[in-house]
Structure 1
């Protein structure tokens, strides 16, 4: 067995998030610490947070968000304008190889509007990030009062 075969065999044993040398078509960003902030019953908007890491050798670009649990999910960024915090659509988010994007309160976040079912603390919201090349990154987001 030569060194290349040994290395390939060792890579196969690693979890997908640890394999850095994957080809662009096979490699996806990894969602870490996903959660949705709980809200009072009847709330029309919730916020979601996560850390998105790119273990791939190529950059990836996030262009949208989808959900089976919200009629109007969006990616927003909180900005300060004239001393007032406002939310703006984040637009295209490029994630360099080895980089990460932090979706946090007061910054980049998922704006999850028009819930399609009641979501209470302990429930799970289903969310997919849409990449520029059409691939999707799915994760389940526990509904919590505070960050994990």
Structure 2
């Protein structure tokens, strides 16, 4: 029997704004998050994970998805993730500045597990990151990867 602990599943952050990306990294670093943070900087990069997961790369524990992305809109990424068998069970948390009712309704209709408005204040954002970590990384029982 191996004494090696399994590697923590990654978190996929789909975010194009460098300031928000930095804020998220700093918030998770402050919380000493053990899960590796993968980054897709546009919607196409997010979709490029699908063949990698189909080839056996570990699925993320959760996807944090911005909506207003270059190349492919976040709602289209969500639609494709929930359409593909390999990624259908991966929880997707929309983390965005959009509080438009149409975006919220569409996200949930497409299968988003949660919809969170991004706070702009670092301390408030750290609290949000803490809650995301606590729920999705510690309390939630994920589907098998």
Superposition TM-score, scaled by structure 2 size: 0.24
Structure with greater strand share of residues: 1
In proportion to residue count, which structure has more helix?
Answer: 2
State the structure with bigger RCO (CA 8 A, min sep 6), 1 or 2.
1
TM-score, structure 1 as length reference: 0.24
Greater Rg by CA: 1
